[in-house]
Structure 1
Amino acid sequence: MSSIKHVAIIMDGNGRWANRRLRPRIWGHVRGSAVVSDIVRAADDIGLKALTMYAFSTENWSRPLEEVSTLFRLLKKFLIKEKARILANNIKFKVIGEIQNLPHETISLIKEMEALTAEATGLKLTFAFNYGGRAEILRAVNAFHLNYPGRTMTENDLNDLMYRPETGDVDLMIRTGGEQRISNFLLWQMAYAEMYFTPTRWPDFTPSEFKKIIEHVSCRERRFGNVCGQTALEHSMEKAETNKSVFIKGANL
């Protein structure tokens, strides 16, 4: 059984993929949107508990208006196209982030999908849209102090006030496109996450590579601050006894 239950993905490289083909950046986003459906299907097939995908960050507002508008349209298209399959596969869908600035029709589609899948018990599928990790933490802290003035906050308190606490910590973060940073994504949830950076740009990312990455990372030793098998003190004492034995035998030769 794989130890990887919650995977987070930064879907990067759409624009560069398109530019290499002498096409506009939005062409890369359109191509990449098809990959989203493939990866969601693969995550569901292999039995992941949660999949969180970074679709639009708070910093992305600085991009050209046409590109931002395209990303909004693609989210709407995904919700319409994948609705039946999400419902049929018992997937629990949610969008995290400040979605109030999205088009009204898109917000309505999001709320409808979240309501329809509220009782689903399968894959927890999350899109981070107009999302920032620092903003999520600040939102949670402010909400706590507003509701519990004067009380000391615990880790459990903060975790419970995240956008989607039921997904738990991230086990594996994958970033496509070759960049090696987390870009303000799920900062609280990725405290002990394994990281995997692939040069593959998002439009070229396949379910096969996705599964291979999970298989590879599943073989890593995840100690969460501990020493595997024995404590460091036990290991040190065992090594000292071995060296002492070798020294005594050598002295008796």
Structure 2
Amino acid sequence: MDFQVNKLKHVAIIMDGNGRWAQNRAHRRVWGHVRGSSVVSNIVEKADDMGVKALTLYAFSTENWGRPPSEIRTLFLLLKKFLIKERNKVLKNNIKFNIIGDISKLPKDTVKIIDDLKRDSKDNTGLKLTFAFGYGGRAEIISAVNKLIAEDIEVTEESISNALHAPELGDVDLMIRTGGDQRISNFLLWQIAYGELYFTETMWPNFTCTEFEKIIMEVEKRERRFGQVTETESLAATKTQVKNNFRLIN
């Protein structure tokens, strides 16, 4: 029986290293993206089997618009092909699909495919699969704050969380970055406040379900205190304890 997650409900992945993987093999960068796209389906299926509640994948950042046009077009095409290929599997496996970020620059037919899959899977109750495409963490926070100001809602930690692109996903419990770099790269900045971080040297095209499961098992053993002295269930539990302590002190 596969290992089942207990603490790690929301896992986010920065799928890095496609271009370098290809260049190391004397191929064009786009070849790495093609190879890397085939890994996504396996990891989604593995996360679902392990009981992960939400999986968010960093597919294309706001900074990626500075890449060569040919590479950008390839990424657009791969997204379209993936959605067409995986549509039936998403629906069959009760997966709820979503995209966060700015997809206005995508081809209209791709946007329609996205909208159709979001609509047809919106009532699914299984894994919440989210692609971050045309996404930037700072832009998301700015958008949330501006939304609150426009609606004359007080800007608080709770109201910002509720105004984010996909508030139903909650905080990130674990963020994995492949490819060797050890940075966040403007990904889910608000949501990873207390997330566990894991950096692997493995390039995304070489990332396997076995390594994914090994990382999950290792991080599940970490003691997560959320600012407390001993292990705590969640950040929400810490906030409740803080409120109770204030009452006792005052």
Please indicate, yes or no, whether the TM-score normalized by the shorter chain is above 0.5. Answer: yes
Deviations 1:135-188 (A, max 9, x none): 00000100110011xx43121111111111111100000000000000000000
User: Which has the larger Rg?
Assistant: 1
> CA–CA distance in 2 between the matches of 1:225 and 1:79?
40
Q: Is the 8 A contact 2:137 2:187 kept in 1?
A: yes
Structure 2 residue corresponding to 1:105, chosen from 77, 94, 109: 109
> CA–CA distance in 2 between the matches of 1:50 and 1:152?
28
> CA–CA distance in 2 between the matches of 1:228 and 1:139?
35
Q: Is the 8 A contact 2:54 2:127 kept in 1?
A: yes
> CA–CA distance in 2 between the matches of 1:93 and 1:84?
12
Letter in 1 for 2:146: N
- Give the corresponding residue for 1:190: 192
TM-score by length of 1: 0.89
> CA–CA distance in 2 between the matches of 1:218 and 1:92?
24
Alignment pair present for 1:176 and 2:178:
yes
Gaps of 5+ in 2: 233-250
Question: % of aligned pairs identical?
Answer: 61
Alignment pair present for 1:64 and 2:65:
no
- Give the corresponding residue for 2:221: 219
How big is the shift at 1:197?
0.1
Deviating beyond 4 angstroms after TM superposition, the runs of 4 or more aligned structure 1 residues are none
> CA–CA distance in 2 between the matches of 1:20 and 1:182?
24
Alignment pair present for 1:82 and 2:86:
yes
TM-score by length of 2: 0.90
What is the DSSP-based 3-state SS (H/G/I as helix, E as strand, rest coil) of the residue aligned with 1:99? coil
Q: Is the 8 A contact 2:224 2:231 kept in 1?
A: no
What is the DSSP-based 3-state SS (H/G/I as helix, E as strand, rest coil) of the residue aligned with 1:3? coil
- Give the corresponding residue for 1:49: 53
Structure 1 residue corresponding to 2:201, chosen from 181, 199, 202: 199
How many pairs does the alignment contain? Answer: 228
**Aligned pairs for 1:89-100 within 5 A:** 89-100=93-104
Gaps of 5+ in 1: 231-253
What is the DSSP-based 3-state SS (H/G/I as helix, E as strand, rest coil) of the residue aligned with 1:199? coil
Letter in 2 for 1:145: I
CA RMSD of aligned residues (A): 1.1
Alignment pair present for 1:31 and 2:39:
no
> CA–CA distance in 2 between the matches of 1:174 and 1:91?
21
- Give the corresponding residue for 1:115: 119
What is the DSSP-based 3-state SS (H/G/I as helix, E as strand, rest coil) of the residue aligned with 1:122? coil
- Give the corresponding residue for 1:134: 138
> CA–CA distance in 2 between the matches of 1:66 and 1:89?
34
- Give the corresponding residue for 1:152: 154
